Structures are given as C-alpha cells and as structure tokens.
Amino acid sequence: MQSHRIWKKNRLSCILLIALCVQGCASFLNREEPAQMEQAIAYHQEGAKLFQEGKAEEAIPLLNQSLEICKQNEQKPCAANNLNVLGLANGLLGKDEEALDFFRQALVANQELGNNVAVAAILNSMGKIFSDQGKYDEAFEHLNKSFEISLELKNRFGLATVCYNIGKVYDHLQNYDMSLQFYNKSLELFATLGEKERARMLLESIRIAERERGNSLVSQRNEKVAETEPTLDVGKPDINASASEEEEPATTAPELESGKKTENIGAIEVKKKFLNLYETHSATSPVLTKVLAVGMHPILELFQEESSKESFYKIKLDSGTTGWISEMENERID
C-alpha cells in the first residue's frame, strides 16, 4: 500500500531520525521543565511510538500538539524533534508535499542547533521523496549533501543509508553499474555495523540490479544488431496458390561453406555461470552476453565446423534472447 511506502521502502532513514528524536526527548527529561513542557514531551513520545507502530494518522495530532507547546515556550530542540517525525509521518501517509514542508522546517531548525547528524538524516529523507517523485536532480542534490555531512562526521550508519538511497536513484535511471557501486558500499558498511537484516535487504537489491543490468546489456546489443543487420524483401505470400504448388519444407538446413547446420536436435545443459553467448556460430563472433542461466536449454540449431570439427549450439534463454554457445565451453546432452 502507498501509505506504507516510506516506512517499508525507506525505513533506514525513518529509524535514524526516530532514534535522534528519542535521544532528544531523553535530554529534555533530564532537565527541570515546567509542567507544560512535560506535557509536550509526553505528547511527542506517544506520537513517536504510534508512528513506529505504523499508526501515522493517530500520531500526527499528538505531534502537532507537542510542536505547538514547544513553539510557545521557544524550545527549539523540542520543536525540531516534532518537525522531524511529522515529516516522516506525512511521508508514511503518502503526503509528499506536507512531508517536505515539515522536513524543510526541521532542516532549518537543526541547522540552527548545529545538529548535523539530524541534518544529514533529513536531507536523506528529502532526497528519497524527490527520487520517488522522479525529480532526480533534486534527489541527487539532497542525497549528495547528506553523503558529504555523514562522511565528515564519520557516521557509518548515515553513510550506509544514503549510499543505499543514491543506489536507488541510479536504479530508477537504469544506470545499474552506478547503482551496484553504491549498493555494494552500503552493504559493506551495514555488514561492518552488524546490521544483518539491512545487509540481507541490500543483497536482494544487488541481485535485482545485476539481473536488470544483464537484461539491459542484452537489449542494447540486440538493438545495435537490429540497426546494422540487412533485411530481405521476401515479398507477400500468394494466398491463391494451391497446396500442391508449395515447396516441401526442408528437414535440414543446406550445407554451408564451412560446415553443416541442423535443427531440432536435442537440448543442452549449461553448467557454467559465465559462458559466452555468441551472435553467430563462431568463437570470433561478437559476444551478446557472458551471463547465462544454469540449466537445460533447447537447441534451436547445431552448426559443425568442418575444419576444427567444433560444434556450436543455438539456444534461447528464458529472457527470449537467442545466441550460440560453443561445445568446447559446455557439455552437450542429447
């Protein structure tokens, strides 16, 4: 559901900001505050708790009440904490513009307070919203600032989180080489922090990005081949021709200059993870892809070279891509 988008997909930023707010509340409780501020803190803690439980609609009124009391008493840290969580809560409900408004206010408040850890986390959350909206320039602007601050502070959790979100932007742009760079850096940081759940999430993102990169490379190669491949004018079929006038279909392909080609002759089991898939039946042919799914694949055609006696098999991948593999690189199964 859309209302759970930020909490589920960007829970790293949410958890970081919530942790900062809880820290801020604890600092207030250690002071002697008037009864009004004690109420503000109670409202904030209850609102933050409801938000963490995914009950954003119930949390927002409490957070607004806390924010109002904080402003009346000119308590900037308290107000900043409420603005942070109000941004997250509105984001949880899919109210992007309201979330961004609260985040902008929170950003100014935390900058004035010199709370750079919170500033980096807020910029990260704003960048994620812009990314989801397709505003990638604004997303990069905010995420890069968050990255720089987290790097300066040597905040590894903040860096891990922002690297993940930068990778997601590159994912949206279908730049999988860059997305994988940031995903792998994020994975490395989370692993060193002992964040096993987040590391598993990164592994899944990396797996998907690698798959998409492979599909993209094949697609680009096919488009290039299609642009340069000559077409034949075979003309229109004669619908009035009788069946007796049609030529008998050939059971095998004609002999070629360098060998023989046959069709429908079995299947092949691909055992290697990385195997060249050639454009034509030759080891000197351009390679369509090096990533080939392990498993059984039907052989569409077989080509045997007369000089080297090497065999090539034309197969079709699950993605629909067809190409040739060498017998020398794999084992044939009839």
pTM here is: 0.60
Of 47-51, 227-231, 270-274, 308-312, the range with the lowest mean pLDDT is 227-231
Q: Parallel, antiparallel, or unpaired for β 274-278 and 295-305?
A: unpaired
pLDDT tens profile 178-209: 999 999 999 999 998 998 888 888 889 998 98
- Please count the other Cβ atoms lying within 10 Å of the Cβ belonging to residue 308: 11
Which range scores top for mean pLDDT: 18-22, 47-51, 97-101, 229-233? 97-101
The closest alpha carbon to 67, from 51, 55, 78, belongs to: 78
**Residues 172/210, Cβ–Cβ less than 8 Å:** no
Give dist(CA 267, CA 5) in Å, integer.
Answer: 45
Give dist(CA 5, CA 58) in Å, integer.
Answer: 17
Q: Which domains does the chain have, with CATH numbers?
A: 2-216 (1.25.40.10), 259-333 (2.30.30.40)
Give dist(CA 101, CA 97) in Å, integer.
Answer: 6
Q: How far is CA 180 from CA 43, 156, 240, in A?
A: 42, 18, 58
pLDDT tens profile 296-328: 777 778 877 776 677 788 887 766 778 888 877
pLDDT for 217 equals 63
pLDDT tens profile 97-154: 999 999 999 999 999 999 999 999 999 999 999 999 999 999 999 999 999 999 999 9
